[in-house]
């Protein structure tokens, strides 16, 4: 969990540093180019987080469900889901150090730059002539990009794994039908999250604007992509719930999906 969480933060920082120049170059051509470069560069962070999180969950399930029985006694689905919850500790530890460490670094650099620049040298804030500004910007990148990515990774994986564990426990029994329902309840949050990734990519492509757009039009373009993805994910959640659990669980699932749809959209 900590390894993939760190990778998500590293990819986010790499993208953020490269996207600044590309966004400036795109804005010189047209407003729409600048918006799309900036928005899609930011989306890289979110898609990397959810992609690595989902990959981590699937790999661990494959190991515990298929490989462990080769060398030891098979694990029950209850044991598998509880074991998978444990790797969230690594993600939580990475999120703690990245978030808090980045925040301490950026604030220390910010205070030092302001004291030396404004008080002693009479240089404006974030002026390029102040070398401490570089450290301040690096700290912002670490705390706001890498720290946020690690934090979102931990929350994203934790929500999926907790939902899977609760679903397996809810259908715990001894019959073959109960085992099938347990498998369905385990895979349902994973499939909803996978559908959310695909539909979020589709929503990203819907964000575009005109050259003479106002601030309100730009915000409306962002809202359009989010709203379209949200409606599509809610529909996908209903369909997947019907296919895996049947009509008897649709009523509860529709109510719950309006509360947990950010899991797929994240």
Over the chain, what is the mean pLDDT? 77
Which residue do the tokens 């819907």 mark? Answer: 206
What pLDDT, on a 0 to 100 scale, did the predictor assign at position 184?
84
When pLDDT is cut at 50, 70 and 90, the band that residue 83 belongs to is: confident
pTM of the model: 0.76
User: Among candidates 95, 87, 82, which has minimal Cα distance to 55?
Assistant: 87
Give the structural domain span for 181: 2-265
Name the band, by pLDDT with cuts 50, 70 and 90, for residue 122.
confident
| pLDDT score of 252 more than 70 | no
pLDDT exceeds 60 at position 262: no
Asked whether 263 and 240 are in contact (CB, 8 A), the reply is no
Per-residue pLDDT band for 251 (boundaries 50, 70, 90) equals low
pLDDT for the residue numbered 261 = 56
Collect all residues with Cβ–Cβ distance below 8 Å to 14 and sequence separation of at least 6.
none
Question: How many whole angstroms separate alpha carbon 262 and alpha carbon 157?
Answer: 13
CB neighbours of residue 79 within 10 Å:
13
Residue 180's closest CA among 162, 191, 167, 193? 167
Q: Is the confidence at residue 228, as pLDDT, over 60? A: yes
Mean pLDDT of 80-99: 77
Q: Which helix (H) or strand (E) segment is 245 a member of?
A: helix 215-245
pLDDT the model gives residue 256: 61
Q: For residue 176, with 0-12 CB atoms within 10 Å meaning exposed, 13-18 middle and 19 or more buried, which class applies?
A: exposed
Number of CB atoms found within 10 A of residue 166's CB:
12
Q: What is the pLDDT of residue 250?
A: 62
Res. 152 pLDDT band, cuts 50 70 90: confident
163 class by beta-carbon count within 10 Å (0-12 exposed, 13-18 middle, 19+ buried): buried
pLDDT grade for 128, boundaries at 50, 70 and 90: confident
Average pLDDT for 243-247: 75
Total structural domains within the chain: 1
State yes or no: pLDDT of 62 exceeds 70.
yes
CA–CA separation, 266 vs 260, rounded Å? 10
Q: How confident is the model at residue 110 (pLDDT cuts 50, 70, 90)?
A: confident
Averaged over 200-229, what is the pLDDT?
77
% the chain with pLDDT above 90: 0
Nearest of 127, 122, 260, 142 to residue 193 by alpha carbon: 260
What pLDDT is recorded for position 254? 57
């Amino acid at each position: 969990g900590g390894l993939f969480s760190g990778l998500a933060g590293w990819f986010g920082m790499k993208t953020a540093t490269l996207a600044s120049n590309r966004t400036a170059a795109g804005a010189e051509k047209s407003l729409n180019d600048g918006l799309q470069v900036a928005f899609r560069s930011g989306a890289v962070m979110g898609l990397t987080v959810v992609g690595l999180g989902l990959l981590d969950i699937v790999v661990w399930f494959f190991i515990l469900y298929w490989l462990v029985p080769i060398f030891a006694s098979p694990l029950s689905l209850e044991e598998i889901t509880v074991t998978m919850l444990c790797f969230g500790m690594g993600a939580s530890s990475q999120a703690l150090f990245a978030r808090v460490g980045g925040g301490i670094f950026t604030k220390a650099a910010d205070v030092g730059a302001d004291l030396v620049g404004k008080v002693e040298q009479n240089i404006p804030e974030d002026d390029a002539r102040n070398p401490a500004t570089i450290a301040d910007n690096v700290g912002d990148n670490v705390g706001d990009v890498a720290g946020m990515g690690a934090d979102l990774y931990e929350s994203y994986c934790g929500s999926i794994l907790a939902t899977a564990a609760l679903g397996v426990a809810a259908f715990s029994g001894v019959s073959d039908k109960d085992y099938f329902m347990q498998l369905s309840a385990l895979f349902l949050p994973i499939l909803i999250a996978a559908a959310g990734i695909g539909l979020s990519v589709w929503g990203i492509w819907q964000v575009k604007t005109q050259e003479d757009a106002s601030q309100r039009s730009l915000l409306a373009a962002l809202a359009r992509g989010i709203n379209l993805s949200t409606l599509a994910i809610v529909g996908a959640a209903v369909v997947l719930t019907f296919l895996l659990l049947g009509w008897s669980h649709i009523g509860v699932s529709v109510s719950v999906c309006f509360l947990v749809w950010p899991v797929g959209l994240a």
